Amino acid sequence: MIKNIVRIGLLSVFALGFTFSAHAWDDTGHKIAAYIAWQQMTPAVREQVIKILLAAPEDAQLSTFYLPYRSQSDETKKLDFFMTAASWPDIVRDRTFETRYKKYHHSNWHYSDTFWTVKNGKVELVNMGNESGKALDMMIEFNKVERDPQSTPAQKALGIAWLEHLIGDIHQPLHASARVTDLEPKGDQGANLFLLTPKGTPRESQLDLHWFWDSIIGRNIPNSKDKCDADYLYPIAKMIIKKFPYAKEQANLNPGNFEEWKKESFEISSTKIFPPDLKRNEMPSDKYKKEALKIAEERLALAGYRMGDLFNSIFGNATR
């Protein structure tokens, strides 16, 4: 199995009494990407993936999220389980379950930063010579695990959950970016250090740019009536599919090219996320919010399409 990698703690941001850690899309975003992937997967591949996920190690507590006793169709139960698996790498961050946390939580698997700065109006890469995160490395590794006939079902189960999650992570532009400035000479930790709240705001009330992007879907389309995933997330995912259909995105999918997917996110981060009118200690403008939502929706669509196609390739060489 893959060796544990030294964990790197990222800055946590607290808001409205809830803790938002630096882990790319929140539960809403990861589940939406997984829903879109499920629509791409063939019925046979869906069955194979669910069968493998149910073989996860008992102490990972992944298979416990499959709830066969619910009064739903079998297809809905499987879809919900697959969607929850996409958030499992964040679920295991909970320190309450100490054994699970110590064994399965890996902070620096969630991002793969490129360090960069702006000089004379141009983006320049910065060689920091230090840790930049393992998301890209782990995607490559788990892809090998899934394709290796010697891998055990338990190893493959964890690999599927991590691939679901990391494909989502790498499509969040700030999970491929560490901007170097005079204020952040060692990088801004994916904009976790770019505060949107006024100076002097107590830490527990601070909001930052990373949080802004992580939570962008849920904030723009809030679950104000406390709906279940089927009533809340399914319609949002369908709306994104309609706005960014597979046929429109297909030419740019670059199947299995994880490095290219990361490069796309970095280019967005370095060219679109920090426009001149974005100011520290101020909330973004309405124009920025509108453009950011459009970018986020398309990134989630791409993450879902690529994820679904990847699983089709791994588990059956199936076509759509």
CATH of the domain at 128: 1.10.575.10
- In the predicted model, what is the mean pLDDT of residues 68-82? 93
Residue 253 forms part of a structural domain: yes
Residue 20 forms part of a structural domain: no
| Measured CA distances, 137 to 1, 15, 131, 144, 149 (Å) | 15, 32, 12, 11, 20
Q: Rounded CA gap, 91 and 85, in Å?
A: 9
Is 210 buried (19+), middle (13-18) or exposed (0-12) by CB count in 10 A?
buried
Q: Rounded CA gap, 296 and 54, in Å?
A: 31
pTM for this predicted structure: 0.90
- In the predicted model, what is the mean pLDDT of residues 235-245? 98
pLDDT, position 229: 94
pLDDT, position 216: 97
Answer whether residue 227 shows pLDDT above 70. yes
Confidence of residue 211 (pLDDT cuts 50, 70, 90): very high
- The mean pLDDT of the chain is 91
Answer whether residue 17 shows pLDDT above 80. no
In this predicted structure, which of 7-11, 154-158, 290-294 has the lowest mean pLDDT? Answer: 7-11
What proportion of the chain, given as a percentage, has pLDDT over 90? Answer: 87
Answer whether residue 134 shows pLDDT above 70. yes
**Looking at per-residue confidence, does 10 or 112 come out higher?**
112
- In the predicted model, what is the mean pLDDT of residues 248-265? 97
CA-based end-to-end distance of the chain: 31
Residue 134 forms part of a structural domain: yes
Answer whether residue 319 shows pLDDT above 60. no
Neighbouring CB atoms inside 10 A of 20's CB total 18
Q: What is the pLDDT of residues 264-284, one digit of tens each?
A: 999 999 999 999 999 999 999
In this predicted structure, which of 1-5, 36-40, 151-155, 264-268 has the lowest mean pLDDT? Answer: 1-5
- In the predicted model, what is the mean pLDDT of residues 108-115? 96
- In the predicted model, what is the mean pLDDT of residues 149-154? 97
Residue 75 forms part of a structural domain: yes
Answer whether residue 46 shows pLDDT above 50. yes
Task: Show Cβ contacts of residue 301 under 8 Å, excluding neighbours closer than 6 positions.
Answer: 36, 240, 241, 243, 244, 249
Answer whether residue 133 shows pLDDT above 50. yes
pLDDT, position 2: 41
pLDDT, position 25: 77
Residue 19 forms part of a structural domain: no
Confidence of residue 317 (pLDDT cuts 50, 70, 90): low
> Which tokens go with 159?
């690999």
pLDDT, position 1: 42
Residue 110 forms part of a structural domain: yes
Residue 235 forms part of a structural domain: yes
pLDDT, position 7: 31
- In the predicted model, what is the mean pLDDT of residues 80-95? 97
Residue ranges making up the domain that contains 55: 26-314
Residue 150 forms part of a structural domain: yes
Please name which of 146, 115, 181, 190 lies closest in space to residue 52, comparing C-alpha atoms. Answer: 146
Q: Where are the alpha helices (DSSP H) in the chain?
A: 27-40, 43-53, 74-91, 98-104, 135-147, 153-170, 209-214, 216-220, 229-243, 246-249, 258-271, 286-314
Tally of domains in the chain: 1
